[in-house]
Amino acid sequence: MMKTLLGGMSPRQFLEDYWQKKPLLVRQAVPGFTGVVSRDELFDLACDEDVESRYVRYLPDSPGSEWVLERGPQTRGRLRGKRQPWTVLVQGLNLWVPAGDALLHQFDFIPQARLDDLMVSYAVDGGGVGPHFDNYDVFLLQGIGKRRWQIADQEDRTLVEDAPLRILKHFTPAHDWILEPGDLLYLPPHWAHNGTAIGECTTYSIGFRSPTAQELGAEFLGWMQERICLDGLYADPDLELQDNSAEIGPKMIDQIERMLAGITWSRKEVAAFVGEYLTEPKSHIFFDPPEKPLSRKRFDAALKKHGFALDARSLLLWNETGFYLNGEPLDFDPSDREALAALAHHRKVAAGTPFSDTFVDLLHQWHEDGFGHPATDHG
C-alpha cells in the first residue's frame, strides 16, 4: 500500500516537503478502498455505549441556523433520519475492528507516539460538521461515495458563538476538490476545511496527538508530585515581632523559596514521564484478560506456531530510559531489548521466531493481562 499511499512519494520526502507544511491530495492512494466496516456495522458501533460517537446535523431553517450535536450511544431511529442532512462520527475504530487497526498502522511512518486514533464519519447527502480547523495533522481517506472538500490556510479563526462544535464564523475556501473512494487528503494543523457529503459517503480520519504545553506541564507536575521527596521542616527560631501580624513576611517567603528549590528534575525524569504519559490508555479503555488463559507451556507452543500480536488497545513505546507499556515502565531482561524494540515497531512477532525464556515469560504475562494475544486469537 505504501507505494500508492503517498502518491509514489517516499515517507522521507513526504516528511521533508509536506508534513506540517502544506496539504497533499493523493488520488487513489488506496486503490479499491471502500472502508473497513459496512454501514450496518458502523451503526451498531455508534449505538454501543462503550464506543465514543457523535451525531451532528444542521438546521438551516431554525433561528440562528443551529447546529445540533448528540453524543452517543446513538439510537437507530436517529440514524434513519431523512429530513435534514446529518453525520455520525465513531471514534477509535481501530480499537474495535482489526482491519481498522491495520489501516491506522499503515501510517506508522509517523512515530506511534504521535498516532491518536482512526475515526470514521458516515453522512447522508449534504451532511458534514461545518467549516472548522484542527490543532493536529489529519489524513482524510475516502471510503464509499464522494465528499467535497474545501480548504483554506486562513488567519481568521473566529468561531460561531454558542455552537456545540468549533464552527468557523467566516470561511473562504482556497481549494475545492471532490474525493472518491480511495482518495486521500492530508492537512497540516490549523488548515480550515469543510467536508460535504455528495450522496451517502464515509470518510476515514487518521488523527494525531498534539498536546498543548499547558497539558504537558500539568500532567508532568502531577507525575512529579508522586515522586518528589523534600527534606526539612519550616522553622523560625530567629522570629522577630511584626508590626502587623497579618503580614506574610519576606523572611518566610525566602525560606519557603529555598525549600521549594529542592524540586528539581533531569532529562531522565522527563523521558520517563513521556514514556508513561504517551502510552497511558484513555480513560474509557479497559483490557479484557482471556477467560481461560493458556498455560505457560501451551502459550509457548502457540507462540512458536502462530506468533504474537499486541492488542489494538496496547501501546508499547521506548526511549533512552527504557520501554513503556500502557502507562507503565517495563521490567525486562537487557538481553531482550532488541526483541522488544522489534515488537514495539511491528506490533507483532512472526511464528517460529526464536526468543529467550525471559521474553516468552513476559509475553505470557501480557497474554494473561489481555495486553496481547497469540496471533490466532488476535485475528
Same domain? For 256 and 301 the reply is no
What values do phi and psi take at 111, rounded to 5?
-50, 140
Q: What is the mean pLDDT of the chain?
A: 94
- Angle in degrees, 0-180, between the axes of helices 267-279 and 213-225, rounded to the nearest 10: 110
Is residue 271 a part of any domain in this protein? no
How many C-beta atoms surround the C-beta of residue 265 within 10 A? 15
Dihedral sign from CA coordinates of 333, 369, 101, 379: positive
- DSSP character for 335? G
Residue 65 has pLDDT above 70, yes or no: no
Amino acid 377: pLDDT: 52
Give every CB contact of residue 67 below 8 A, 6+ residues apart in sequence: 56, 57, 58, 59, 130, 160, 163, 164, 165, 167
Same domain? For 78 and 177 the reply is yes
Give every CB contact of residue 126 below 8 A, 6+ residues apart in sequence: 85, 196, 197
Same domain? For 67 and 192 the reply is yes
Amino acid 61: pLDDT: 67
Distances, alpha carbon 295 to alpha carbons 8, 113, 236, in Å? 47, 33, 63
Residue 109's nearest CA partner among 211, 181, 18, 189 is: 18
Same domain? For 33 and 170 the reply is yes
Residue 352 has pLDDT above 90, yes or no: no
Distance in angstroms (rounded) separating the CA atoms of residues 68 and 124: 15
Q: Which tens digit of pLDDT belongs to each residue from 127-139?
A: 999 999 999 999 9
Q: Which tens digit of pLDDT belongs to each residue from 14-57?
A: 999 999 999 999 999 999 999 999 999 999 999 999 999 999 99
Residue 316 has pLDDT above 50, yes or no: yes
Q: Which tens digit of pLDDT belongs to each residue from 322-348?
A: 999 999 999 999 999 999 999 999 999
CB-CB contact of 33 with 1 (8 Å): no
Residue found under cell 431511529: 77
Same domain? For 194 and 307 the reply is no
Distances, alpha carbon 96 to alpha carbons 118, 327, 333, 338, in Å? 10, 21, 32, 30
Residue 60 has pLDDT above 90, yes or no: no
- 165, 188, 208 — which closes off a domain? 208
Residue 113 has pLDDT above 60, yes or no: yes
Q: Which tens digit of pLDDT belongs to each residue from 291-300?
A: 999 999 999 9
For 243-248, what is the mean pLDDT? Answer: 95
Is residue 286 a part of any domain in this protein? no
Give every CB contact of residue 142 below 8 A, 6+ residues apart in sequence: 33, 179, 180, 181, 182, 183, 184, 201, 202, 203, 204
Same domain? For 191 and 256 the reply is no
Q: Which tens digit of pLDDT belongs to each residue from 157-169?
A: 999 888 899 999 9
pTM of the model: 0.91
Taking the CA atoms of residue 360, residue 361, residue 365 and residue 370 in that order, the dihedral angle to the nearest 10 degrees is: 10
> With bands split at pLDDT 50, 70 and 90, how would you rate the model's confidence at 379?
very low
Same domain? For 181 and 229 the reply is no
- Count the domains in the chain: 3
Amino acid 6: pLDDT: 96
In percent, how much of the chain has pLDDT > 90? 89
In percent, how much of the chain has pLDDT > 70? 97
> With bands split at pLDDT 50, 70 and 90, how would you rate the model's confidence at 3?
confident
Distance in angstroms (rounded) separating the CA atoms of residues 287 and 325: 13
Domain that includes residue 148, residue range: 2-208
Distance in angstroms (rounded) separating the CA atoms of residues 328 and 280: 8
